[in-house]
Structure 1
Amino acid sequence: MSGKPAARASDPTACPVPGHGTNPITAGSPDVQFDHLPAARQGDPTACGSALAGNVIATVSINGKPATTLGTLGSHGNAVVGGSGTVLIGNSHAPAPFTSPAPLAMAASAAQALAPSLPQRPGDTLARNWQEEPGDPAPLGVEEEDEEEELEEEIQQGITLRVGFFFDGTGDNAANVVRGEQCRASQLGYDAADERALLEYCPPHQLDPMTSYGRQRTNIARLFDLYEDDSLRTLKRTDQQALLRIYIEGAGTETDNQDQQFPDMALGTGDTGVLEKVARSGSLFLERLKFLLSKNPNLLIESIEIDVFGFSRGAAAARHFVNDLRKGSSSLLAKALPPAQPPLMEGFSWRFGQDVKVNLIGLFDTVAAIGDLSDGWDVNDDRNGDLKLHLTPDSAKRVIHLVAGDEYRHNYSLNSTQPNFSEIVLPGAHGDIGGNYPLEAEEKLFLTRPFHDEVDNRLPNEESLAWKQASSALASWSQRGLIDSARPNGKLYIDWRQVRSTNSPIRRKVIYTQVKLDRRVRGEYGGIPLRIMHALAQEAGGPFKLLDEYDPETAIPRQLQAVAEKLLAYAQGKTALNLSFEEQDLLYAHYLHQSAHWNVHPGESGALTVHFVNRPARSGQRAVHPNNPDSVSLL
């Protein structure tokens, strides 16, 4: 099934107007609902004062108005950045060709398609079927019900407020991904008129594929879409719980603004660093709560339950956020909504473990990687400034930590949750677990540091020491299964160049050699860690909607279905990790990315210095920092 997620009331939009930020769609169809939320249409308003206007689906009409989807534009230039997890509309997006995706056997019941008739609540149908004519009496019971409702409005409704916080990874920003796709409109099948309209809202930094605008939405953004949200729903009198969801973009990014490379992305500090992202949690919480209260003014919050998820530095942010909650009335959330202030019930004082509890902590490969003056800007060690990562046994009812088993870069040390909480080690690199690789990518990577040798001009290059060193390294890399010999997807070879010797330019030369990988690799594997986290979170009581197994963004191709089922069973503790040799060969040749390499990254502001930011750890193994209180180790 192709198309884009249908937009609904409460789905977020990212507005470029200064000060507006992320705002939800505030109204929708009076009688058409997707996932129990009003379907959004052209002309429906958003909280920033905009109205949905461009990139609508003209071929699908709801109440006589074109339907809207993920990527629809508002009159402020704001973009819809969320949508239904079960309903797709239109044909502008299709999965990259490899093999048609099919539903996993482990979650066949979750697959849902767009029904011929749009869902309606029974009460809505009854309300539309009765129309008052002159002289007609009101239907039996209507007057009495109105009187009862007036009395009920004065009664406060006590609830448990459950809130999901979603911290994205460094350089990852779901709203910027959507805007970047819009700015590459011609690649997505839009016509010339749409493209001209979109480019009016696209400054140069939003056209750069090497920024947050050129990435893919991560598993954090996808989980956020699946988390239930009541912020624009009128609760029933019998409801005892209300749900809110809050997305916080990754370090180094701001919606619609330029990415901040240094120190934000490089060191995790600065105005858009990890601590600053956590600091936004209070204001964002209050913003979403206000929407809920606008529909339910008589709510009384008796207790608060928290679910928190994060990827990479976002996982570090999630852990720090949980530790901030331990501050009680001094926590970020308590400062946003102090004790004794409505809608908190009398006696609610933000006591951790009593008034506020953490149900779930879901982490995708925690990498804090904070560098500052105190540790010589070293992101490899476990000195992380004021960031508090230690999780005690009472931090949450359930902690799920998915760890990248094939990550070994020097700058990507793992901040473990052991010994207090177990970890689930999965095949793949850091981004494979976080799910931020595109459906198809081309890797052009230097796998070794440069070898060099100064030799006589008459000596064949193949006889130089540099060539022999590269040949030995090539033989080793050829055993790692990066290229599929049966279905070649690239090549491994020796890349070389020669220059004149500065010592004797006429008689001597310098040979430089490196092992290079050129191949195409696919991104669908990222959907497997997503399914694992989703399944484990649901088992632990997390309020998530069902995954749509036909969603082109996360569908699992047939080749990976057996792998997905085995890894889920392994994560659930039902089996050991028992992938066959054929399944491992398939993963490493076609789906798992080679994150460690020796490609050069230029210095800040075009400086002449270069950095090997993705170089492998010296030992060839990833540094792992244990989950100790304020631990400091010298590595």
Structure 2
Amino acid sequence: MPSSTETGGPDLRIGIFFDGTGNHKDLRATAARPTNIAALYDLYATDGQSVFAAYVPGIGVYDSAGNLRGDPLSLATGLGKSGGYARMADAAEGLLAVFQRVWPFPPARIVLDVFGFSRGAALARHFVNAVLLAGLPDPRRPMDASAVPRPIRPNLRVIRNQGYGRLDCPLEIGFLGLFDTVGSFGLPGNADEGDFDVTLGPEIVARTLHLTAANEYRRNFPLRSIYDGAPNTGNEAACPGAHGDVGGGYAPPGAANPEHILVGAAEVSARRGGGSTVYVFPDTPPELEALFRRILAPWHGRSPAALAREALDKHGLVLRRAPQAASEGDEILRVRFFVPKRTRETLGLVPLRCMRDSAARHGVPFRELDPEREGEASRVAAARAGDPLAFWRDYIHLSAVADTRYSRCFSLSADGRVILRPGLTEADLPKTRHIADGIFLVDGPAASGRRVIFDNGRKK
């Protein structure tokens, strides 16, 4: 094999794809659409000679026994046995596997195209910095890990306690593609990324596209921008949707998995002797208050299940009830009214197409999208140009969870169904969904109602 200073082979191009937290391209047990990282990995036109690709699973996918399922500690903190350090080691092993297949080695030049989503985008940024500062591992030069210089940790020349010399070969970052960078290593929602260096230099920003989520509001999902207050030169763009709408990976909507928007609450005092009293919570618009009273008035003597079916069939409302108290033989129940929102999973195809096309213009060897995905992306883009309320209803997921009532966002149609109030602006639309168990800690919204944004190198 030639020495580390000899180069005679062709250029070597490698795509590195860091998936988002909890995501893996081989997790097919659910009907969820593959993430955009998995889709781009499949589109990368490898040839087994000079173009290769390496896929890095999302943080937290493997548990401590190595099974293909979630590891709670790593999912929460980005650390642990399937955290950021492990994923960087996976990336380094992917590179070594490519190097073992290349002959002659080293090549004349190595070009790296790097992509990431969520915490995978943070790892992609660290990966680029690690390559530029510490270099690539030379598989012909194993060495004691303690002897490897570490200007950045983790780096690619120390792989699970095995060290390697630095590969002497011209190196270029061809393109960096990021979907909604969220780091939060350690304490969720924090700005301190620990050992991971996600700050990008201007020469890398110039060949980066960062697509961010315009409708993400969770406090534990702060955005890490690629700018430090400098003017946006077009390399960072906000896309409609929540975090998973931009990075992909949602399941198709169905009767079993709608997002529930809380639109009202009432109490019913059902007297054992017959009749009932309905109290509707304040700040409910008159037309909805009247509807809630009509639905609940016959509670005594009617099957609650039958009333719930009627509310859904006639008015598009989901009823949930819970016994509250009993007084002198009266049954008191609290009833909540929800509008089910069945959001489609295809919005992510638009940022997928945008990223693929931008990268291709920078020389990244991507194949074209297949006609089905190309056609669906065009249909979604056309819907965005149409009715904004219908687009929000059909395509924008609600990732944040809270106990917020949105009765003033809704009204009644001519046939008595609860619909979005005509004329709502985007700022007025619901920002959270409700879950039955009422646990809002992990996915609760930011206190300000707006997403927290961290600059490229410091908090904004």
TM-score (norm 1): 0.52
For residues 221 and 494 of structure 1, do their structure 2 counterparts lie closer, same or farther at Cα, with a shift above 3 Å needed?
closer
| Deviation for aligned residue 1:457 | 7.5
Q: Is the 8 A contact 2:11 2:108 kept in 1?
A: yes
Return the alpha-carbon distance in structure 2 between the equivalents of residues 246 and 444 of structure 1.
Answer: 35
Which residue of 1 is the match for residue 82 of structure 2?
A: 272
Q: Kindly indicate whether residue 360 of structure 2 is the aligned counterpart of residue 538 of structure 1.
A: yes
Give the alignment's Cα RMSD to 1 decimal: 3.7
| Deviation for aligned residue 1:542 | 1.3
For residues 500 and 549 of structure 1, do their structure 2 counterparts lie closer, same or farther at Cα, with a shift above 3 Å needed?
closer
Which of these residues, 339, 344, 348, is aligned with residue 526 of structure 1? 348
For residues 300 and 276 of structure 1, do their structure 2 counterparts lie closer, same or farther at Cα, with a shift above 3 Å needed?
closer
- 1:303-314 correspondence runs (5 A): 303-314=109-120
Return the alpha-carbon distance in structure 1 between the equivalents of residues 353 and 176 of structure 2.
Answer: 16
Which of these residues, 125, 128, 137, is aligned with residue 319 of structure 1? 125
Which of these residues, 38, 43, 47, is aligned with residue 221 of structure 1? 38
SS at match of 1:395: helix
Q: Is the 8 A contact 1:253 1:260 kept in 2?
A: yes
Q: Is the 8 A contact 1:169 1:315 kept in 2?
A: yes
1:610-635: CA deviations, max 9, x gaps?
4543232232211111112xx368xx
Which residue of 1 is the match for residue 173 of structure 2?
A: 358
The amino acid of 1:412's aligned partner reads F
Q: Is the 8 A contact 1:402 1:433 kept in 2?
A: yes
Which residue of 2 is the match for residue 122 of structure 1?
A: none
For residues 559 and 322 of structure 1, do their structure 2 counterparts lie closer, same or farther at Cα, with a shift above 3 Å needed?
closer
Q: Kindly indicate whether residue 260 of structure 2 is the aligned counterpart of residue 433 of structure 1.
A: no
Q: Kindly indicate whether residue 54 of structure 2 is the aligned counterpart of residue 246 of structure 1.
A: yes
The amino acid of 1:589's aligned partner reads R
For residues 165 and 588 of structure 1, do their structure 2 counterparts lie closer, same or farther at Cα, with a shift above 3 Å needed?
same
Q: Kindly indicate whether residue 259 of structure 2 is the aligned counterpart of residue 445 of structure 1.
A: yes
1:451-494: CA deviations, max 9, x gaps?
79899989966425xx335669x89xxxxxxxxxxxx9997647
Which of these residues, 388, 394, 400, is aligned with residue 596 of structure 1? 400
Return the alpha-carbon distance in structure 1 between the equivalents of residues 184 and 313 of structure 2.
Answer: 33
1:293-319: CA deviations, max 9, x gaps?
3xx3x3432332211101111111111
The amino acid of 2:11's aligned partner reads T
| Deviation for aligned residue 1:530 | 0.6
The amino acid of 1:625's aligned partner reads F
Q: Is the 8 A contact 1:307 1:358 kept in 2?
A: yes
Q: Kindly indicate whether residue 4 of structure 2 is the aligned counterpart of residue 158 of structure 1.
A: no
Which residue of 2 is the match for residue 333 of structure 1?
A: 156
Which residue of 1 is the match for residue 382 of structure 2?
A: 562
* Percent of matched pairs sharing the same residue: 29
Return the alpha-carbon distance in structure 2 between the equivalents of residues 449 and 280 of structure 1.
Answer: 46
The amino acid of 2:365's aligned partner reads P
Which residue of 2 is the match for residue 167 of structure 1?
A: 18
Return the alpha-carbon distance in structure 2 between the equivalents of residues 160 and 358 of structure 1.
Answer: 13
Which of these residues, 70, 74, 91, is aligned with residue 281 of structure 1? 91
Return the alpha-carbon distance in structure 2 between the equivalents of residues 395 and 558 of structure 1.
Answer: 30
| Deviation for aligned residue 1:398 | 0.6
- 1:604-619 correspondence runs (5 A): 610-619=439-448
1:254-311: CA deviations, max 9, x gaps?
3982423421112222111233212321111101222x33xx3x34323322111011
Which residue of 2 is the match for residue 301 of structure 1?
A: 107
Return the alpha-carbon distance in structure 1 between the equivalents of residues 319 and 208 of structure 2.
Answer: 45
Q: Is the 8 A contact 2:268 2:277 kept in 1?
A: no
The amino acid of 1:229's aligned partner reads T
SS at match of 2:176: strand
The amino acid of 2:183's aligned partner reads A
SS at match of 1:176: coil
- 1:173-252 correspondence runs (5 A): 173-177=24-28, 180=29, 209=30, 215-231=32-48, 233=49, 242-252=50-60
| Deviation for aligned residue 1:247 | 0.4
Q: Is the 8 A contact 2:8 2:108 kept in 1?
A: no
Q: Is the 8 A contact 1:491 1:517 kept in 2?
A: no
SS at match of 2:58: coil
Which residue of 2 is the match for residue 406 of structure 1?
A: 215
- 1:453-464 correspondence runs (5 A): 462-464=278-280
Higher relative contact order, structure no. (Cα contacts within 8 Å, ≥ 6 residues apart):
2
Number of residue pairs matched by the alignment? 373
Which of these residues, 185, 191, 211, is aligned with residue 370 of structure 1? 185
Return the alpha-carbon distance in structure 2 between the equivalents of residues 285 and 581 of structure 1.
Answer: 45
